[in-house]
């Protein structure tokens, strides 16, 4: 009898502890407010919310730091954003080496107990955002960051296979932004056109829908950067609201597990806790935005539209679908482990099949399973698309106008910033349009001192 009471007390403690750890609000709940604050342009409120959550939710600290970096970048602090992104990149690399103790904890709680190492697309995009942030500063490390984008993709895909099995990550769509940034930086040297050509071949292959890629490749093959007396402006825009995660119920797996535990309970020496709580897993959700591109004007004259070099939403969804069976498998395995622990406990103390203790252990098992929540941690302030426009201009000062554009034409307010173009050199601009209005500042790599950004009349 004493053994039974001890077992009941132990399992009650486990369930109570798991319940406390699981909490009530999920990361998705907390992220919702930050996304709204950011997309409405209230960067101070978004920063304050993020800083609070970094302190309150240590298991989510790294993804909150990614959000903080995006707020800093939009607010015109690219160096600060770069520093934060670099720190998270290094921590993600460290967390890829998962400990055995952490794995065991995950199996008796849920995936939220593990250190968050980032989704595969996030590990690549952190390097892409490092490259863009650095371009808005001195640009000295942008080439290295751009190369890291491609290298990290290779590493992730190569590590995705298991001996004797298939590698689902071979289906991953490649991110062309790293190759593109590397190509335009090498083009600026006016000598390394072979390197430029190799990079642009990757861009055309990995992002065939990026129409300017073919012109970029032809220009590299002819060894041409710009006409004498001209320079090039690259306008990078972060468009739309990016992907995020929400909790969903995996009904087919839940039903299959329910049928299995009822069969085993009917034929075994002891019953298994019935599968009442559904299996919960995260899913990638794509948000909607009326913005399709950004219209660029130079000195009051139309100069073109930005085009998508990286579809972040598509990348996130496609990669997550590739590993979704693994996510489900981990969730099912966790349920099996928990049921096995309850069953083993009954076996150890020889609990009678229809006794009160048997029912109590089943109830404890059901409560234990009900504490699980899906891991909805994610980088929630990414854009839906990263776009770019290349514009060759005479050297000197120019006024650049940016305005969101939808399927029916211009949207929102036309915003402008001065930019200085140098002969034979590249100049870079970055702006964020999650909806029809600019959020934060227009960043330029060569902004003239004392020149303010302005709201322009259409």
Count Cβ atoms below 10 Å from residue 59 Cβ, excluding itself: 15
Residue whose C-alpha is closest to residue 162's, from 323, 346, 333: 323
- pLDDT tens digits, 353-376: 667 776 677 677 777 767 778 889
Residue 105 binned pLDDT confidence (cut-offs 50, 70, 90): low
Q: What pLDDT is recorded for position 111? A: 59
Residue whose C-alpha is closest to residue 21's, from 112, 117, 116: 112
Give me the phi and psi of 289, to 5 degrees please: -150, 145
Residue 447 binned pLDDT confidence (cut-offs 50, 70, 90): low
Residue 437 to residue 440: CA distance in whole angstroms: 10
Q: Beta 280-285 vs 454-456: how paired, if at all?
A: unpaired
More confident residue, 421 or 100: 421
Query: Which tokens go with 447?
Result: 């902004």
DSSP secondary structure string for all residues of 289-341: -S--EEEEEETTEEEEE-EEEEEHHHHHHHHHHHHHHHHHHHHHHHHHHHHHH
Signed CA dihedral, 268, 256, 277, 104: sign only: positive
Q: What pLDDT is recorded for position 373? A: 83
Count Cβ atoms below 10 Å from residue 204 Cβ, excluding itself: 15
Residue whose C-alpha is closest to residue 380's, from 29, 27, 31, 25: 31
Residue 16 binned pLDDT confidence (cut-offs 50, 70, 90): very low
Residues 81-101 have a mean pLDDT of 83
Residue 443 to residue 445: CA distance in whole angstroms: 7
Q: What pLDDT is recorded for position 334? A: 81
Q: What pLDDT is recorded for position 337? A: 77
Roughly what angle, to the nearest 10 degrees, separates helices 356-370 and 312-349?
160
- pLDDT tens digits, 171-205: 899 999 999 999 999 999 999 899 999 999 999 99
- Name the residue with tokens 């019953």: 271
Q: Which of 128-132, 210-214, 331-335 has the lowest mean pLDDT?
A: 331-335
Residue 212 to residue 199: CA distance in whole angstroms: 14
Residue whose C-alpha is closest to residue 123's, from 158, 156, 146: 156
DSSP secondary structure string for all residues of 378-420: --TT-EEEEEEEEEEEESEEEEEEEEEEETTEE-S-EEEEEEE
Q: What pLDDT is recorded for position 203? A: 97
Query: Which tokens go with 372?
Result: 């699980």
Query: Which tokens go with 409?
Result: 């034409």
Q: What pLDDT is recorded for position 419? A: 95
Fold of the domain built from segment(s) 2-228+247-287+311-382: 1.25.40
> Burial level of 338, CB count in 10 A (0-12/13-18/19+)?
buried
- Three-state DSSP class for residue 232: strand
Q: Do 111 and 375 touch, CB atoms closer than 8 A?
A: yes
pTM recorded for the entire structure: 0.86
More confident residue, 316 or 352: 316
Residue 37 binned pLDDT confidence (cut-offs 50, 70, 90): very high
Residues 102-108 have a mean pLDDT of 56
Q: Which of 1-10, 214-223, 243-252, 402-411 has the lowest mean pLDDT?
A: 1-10
Residues 222-249 have a mean pLDDT of 94
- Three-state DSSP class for residue 230: strand
Residues 276-300 have a mean pLDDT of 90
Looking at every residue in the chain, the average pLDDT score rounds to 85
For the chain, give the percent of residues with pLDDT over 70: 82
For the chain, give the percent of residues with pLDDT over 90: 57
Q: What pLDDT is recorded for position 336? A: 76
Q: Which of 65-74, 236-245, 246-255 has the lowest mean pLDDT?
A: 246-255
- In 3-state terms, the chain is what percent helix, strand and coil (to 5)? 50, 20, 30
Q: What pLDDT is recorded for position 250? A: 81
Model confidence at 452: pLDDT above 60: no
Residue 218 binned pLDDT confidence (cut-offs 50, 70, 90): very high
Count Cβ neighbours within 10 Å for each residue of 413-435 and write b for 16 or more, e otherwise. Answer: ebbbbbbbbeeebbbbbbbbbbb
What's the distance, CA 368 to chain centroid? 30
How many C-alpha atoms does 109 have within 13 Å on its Cβ side? 21
Residue 125 to residue 89: CA distance in whole angstroms: 10
How many C-alpha atoms does 427 have within 13 Å on its Cβ side? 25
Residue 208 binned pLDDT confidence (cut-offs 50, 70, 90): very high
Q: What pLDDT is recorded for position 108? A: 53
- pLDDT tens digits, 289-342: 899 999 999 999 999 999 999 999 999 999 999 888 888 888 887 877 777 777
- pLDDT tens digits, 383-434: 999 999 999 999 999 999 999 999 888 998 999 999 999 999 999 999 999 9
């Amino acid at each position: 009898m004493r053994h039974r009471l001890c077992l009941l007390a132990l399992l009650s403690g486990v369930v109570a502890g798991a319940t406390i750890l699981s909490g009530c609000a999920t990361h998705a709940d907390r992220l919702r407010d930050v996304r709204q604050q950011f997309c409405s342009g209230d960067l101070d409120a978004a920063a304050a919310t993020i800083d609070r959550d970094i302190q309150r939710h240590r298991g989510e600290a790294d993804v909150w730091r990614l959000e903080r970096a995006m707020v800093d970048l939009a607010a015109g602090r690219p160096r600060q954003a770069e520093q934060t992104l670099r720190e998270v990149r290094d921590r993600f690399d460290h967390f890829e080496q998962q400990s055995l103790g952490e794995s065991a904890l995950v199996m008796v709680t849920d995936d939220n107990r593990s250190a968050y190492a980032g989704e595969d697309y996030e590990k690549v995009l952190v390097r892409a955002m490092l490259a863009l942030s650095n371009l808005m500063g001195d640009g000295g490390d942008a080439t290295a960051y751009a190369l890291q984008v491609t290298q990290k993709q290779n590493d992730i895909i190569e590590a995705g296979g298991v001996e004797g099995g298939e590698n689902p990550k071979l289906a991953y769509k490649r991110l062309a932004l790293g190759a593109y940034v590397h190509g335009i930086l090498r083009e600026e040297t006016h000598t390394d056109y072979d390197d430029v050509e190799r990079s642009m071949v990757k861009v055309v292959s990995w992002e065939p829908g990026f129409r300017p890629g073919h012109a970029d490749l032809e220009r590299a093959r002819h060894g041409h950067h710009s006409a004498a007396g001209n320079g090039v402006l690259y306008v990078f825009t972060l468009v739309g609201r990016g992907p995020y995660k929400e909790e969903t119920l995996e009904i087919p797996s839940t039903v299959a597990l329910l049928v299995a535990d009822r069969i085993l309970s009917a034929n075994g020496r002891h019953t298994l806790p019935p599968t009442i709580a559904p299996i919960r897993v995260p899913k990638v959700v794509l948000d909607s935005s009326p913005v399709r591109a950004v219209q660029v004007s130079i000195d009051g004259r139309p100069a073109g539209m930005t085009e998508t070099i990286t579809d972040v939403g598509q990348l996130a969804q496609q990669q997550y679908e590739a590993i979704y069976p693994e996510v489900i498998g981990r969730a099912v395995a966790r349920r099996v482990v928990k049921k096995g622990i309850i069953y083993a406990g009954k076996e150890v103390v020889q609990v009678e099949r229809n006794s009160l203790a048997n029912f109590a252990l089943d109830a404890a098992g059901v409560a234990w399973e009900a504490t699980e929540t899906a891991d909805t941690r994610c980088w929630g302030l990414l854009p839906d698309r990263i776009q770019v426009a290349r514009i060759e201009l005479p050297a000197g000062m120019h006024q650049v106008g940016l305005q969101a554009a939808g399927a029916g034409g211009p949207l929102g307010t036309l915003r402008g910033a001065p930019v200085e173009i140098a002969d034979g050199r590249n100049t870079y601009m970055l702006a964020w349009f999650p909806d029809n209005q600019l959020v934060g500042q227009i960043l330029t790599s060569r902004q003239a001192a004392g020149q303010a950004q302005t709201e322009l009349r259409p």
